[in-house]
Structure 1
Amino acid sequence: MARPLANQAALRPDCAQCFALCCTAFGFTRSADFAIDKPPATPCPNLAADFSCTIHDRLRPRGFAGCTVFDCFGAGQAVSQRLFHGTSWRDNPGSAPDMFAAFRVLRQLHEMLWHLAQAEAVAYSPDAADEVRHLQAKVREVAEGDLGTVLTADVGSLHLQVGEALRWVSEEVRAGYLADGPQRNDLAPGADLAGANLRGSVLCGADLRGACLIAADLRGADLTAVDLLGADLRDARLDDADLSQALFLTEAQIAAARGSLSTRLPAGLKRPDHWIPSPLSPAAALPVPPSQRKRLDSPEC
């Protein structure tokens, strides 16, 4: 894709127009991603009166890395401003249960629309493209409906239909790469590739839908036409990797990984602020203080 998809542009979060729904509706458990336990439907203790985060600029060092990788796909502002007309759960506490429930549903619907936008752009056959457009209209009708429509949506059924359409498009796109030769047996949907050494690998056309790639070394790998729908990329090394034409990738997956300025991303995906500069980037050309210099014969990290 040469440029960001227009249908995805409207699915980006605008936190200034949201009542911090991601900080309230969902709960989390104390872990490597969250420093504390928080039950669902309760405000995070770091939430300010104006719905901003009091530790936003230091979430990772304070143990809230999970917050930095969350993406509501624009559901937050849609619920806050369209469904609840700009009246917050603080101003009207009685609205909180429905507001939080609507957010949980609409986020899923918007994520489906995000993936369907790419599917429409890369689908080969007219039949597949028609099915994708049909589902786009079907999901959008629910997502743009009133509060009752959103709360009673059959999300499970829509998930199944969208999943099958994405699989159809994925198989079409990957077919040309799979015909080039045999694929590795361990590259499969749902594969456990945690910590796998895939550095420099040519993975073109692989189906890694739902695969566990936690801490996998993908530096310099070519992931052209690799289906990454739902793949877990937490702490995966993506320096110098080419994901510019990977299928069904989200900013949340990218933000959970480790990359650099040399990582090639699909058009429209934002490079995470916490990614380190590439060794060949201009920033790396600056003089290094003696106290930070590393011996040339020291082992590579």
Structure 2
Amino acid sequence: MPDNVQGPGTDRIDRAELRADCANCFGLCCVALTLARSADFAINKDAGKPCRHLREDYRCGIHTELRTQGFPGCTVYDCFGAGQKVSRETFDGQDWRRAPQTAHQMFQVFPVMRQLHELLWYLTEALSLEPARSLHAEIRRSLDETERLTHLPAEAFTDLDVAAHRDDVAALLLRTSELARAAAPRGKKRDHRGADLIGARLEGADLRGADLRGAYLIAADLKGADLRLADVIGADFRDADLSGADLTGSLFLTQAQLNSARGDAATRLPPPLSRPTHWGQ
């Protein structure tokens, strides 16, 4: 799967740019978002209020201890590179602490940009799928439009109907998924879309080509499962056991999903994604 895609009217889309670069971000995820005290976050925090652990240099003061300090939710969050885009491009490097007049607008733009960058991640993957070649022209147009939206001036984000755009992209990604999953062995394309599979015993399951879009796989036993060509967009893998599972060729898998799960050195991953450090080696 290529890390970059060249489309008409679009500069080179590099998936490396769709990964968080905290060194070039003003700690936006630690300020702009709401935190609700739960198993994922040890505190309540209102949107627009800096987390008490955010340092002056915009780094997390407990980064190496997030899980033990009660913040596992922070370790699985992924902005898909939206943080550095908003900080360095949309606001041209203006620091919300030193330019407080930018703060409110910056915190409103960030979650919208994050949605657009997530769509860019999925669309670049869709454009790399050979079975969906008949849709590539349409995918390129959608990719171009999504990329264009990320470069809008900050004030334009107020009136941007990102939900409608997401719906359009989601419909295209579903058609892409159907074409890609058709390559799975006949009879294997199970429909588990949105299914409640919390704690399910799926050790060694053959899930090739399965539709797992939005499925709840929290704490599911997926040890040794075959998830090649399974569509996992939006699937909840929190605390799922992926030890020894084969995720090569899984459709629309993200780093955040892997970070929320458990796995081991035998878990097979697609090239753009990396093995979470908490899995061990």
Seq. identity, %: 48
| Secondary structure at the counterpart of residue 36 of structure 1 | coil
- The Cα of 1:93 is off from its aligned counterpart by 1.4
- The Cα of 1:42 is off from its aligned counterpart by 0.4
For structure 1, which runs of at least 5 residues remain unmatched after alignment? Answer: 278-301
1:74 maps to a residue whose letter is G
User: What is the TM-score with the length of structure 2 in the denominator?
Assistant: 0.94
| Residues 150-169 of structure 1, C-alpha deviations (whole Å, 9 max, x = no match) | 33322011101110111001
- The Cα of 1:176 is off from its aligned counterpart by 2.6
* Corresponding pairs, count: 273
- The Cα of 1:116 is off from its aligned counterpart by 0.3
- The Cα of 1:38 is off from its aligned counterpart by 0.7
Q: Cα RMSD (Å) of the superposition?
A: 1.4
Q: Which has the larger radius of gyration?
A: 1
Residue 188 of structure 2 contacts residue 209 of structure 2 at CA under 8 Å; is this kept in 1? no
Distance between the aligned counterparts of 1:206 and 1:79, measured in 2? 36
Match of 1:79 among 72, 86, 90: 86
User: What is the TM-score with the length of structure 1 in the denominator?
Assistant: 0.87
- The Cα of 1:148 is off from its aligned counterpart by 2.5
| Residues 223-277 of structure 1, C-alpha deviations (whole Å, 9 max, x = no match) | 0000000000000000110001100011000000001111111111121111133
- Say whether residues 1:254 and 2:271 are aligned partners: no
Which residues of 2 match residues 141-152 of structure 1 at below 5 A? Answer: 141-152=148-159
Which residue of structure 1 aligns with residue 171 of structure 2?
164
Q: Select between 6-15 and 197-206 the one with higher mean Cα deviation.
A: 6-15
- Say whether residues 1:218 and 2:225 are aligned partners: no
Match of 1:243 among 223, 231, 247: 247
Distance between the aligned counterparts of 2:145 and 2:97, measured in 1? 33
| Residues 58-89 of structure 1, C-alpha deviations (whole Å, 9 max, x = no match) | 00000000000010111101111111121211
- Say whether residues 1:131 and 2:138 are aligned partners: yes
- Say whether residues 1:267 and 2:271 are aligned partners: yes
- Say whether residues 1:198 and 2:202 are aligned partners: yes
Q: Select between 244-253 and 83-92 the one with higher mean Cα deviation.
A: 83-92
| Residues 77-105 of structure 1, C-alpha deviations (whole Å, 9 max, x = no match) | 11111111212111111211100111011
Which residue of structure 2 aligns with residue 285 of structure 1?
none
For structure 2, which runs of at least 5 residues remain unmatched after alignment? Answer: 6-13
1:181 maps to a residue whose letter is G
Distance between the aligned counterparts of 1:235 and 1:34, measured in 2? 15
Distance between the aligned counterparts of 2:100 and 2:244, measured in 1? 49
Which residue of structure 1 aligns with residue 182 of structure 2?
175
Which residues of 2 match residues 1-301 of structure 1 at below 5 A? Answer: 1=1, 4-5=3-4, 7-177=14-184, 180-181=186-187, 187-277=191-281
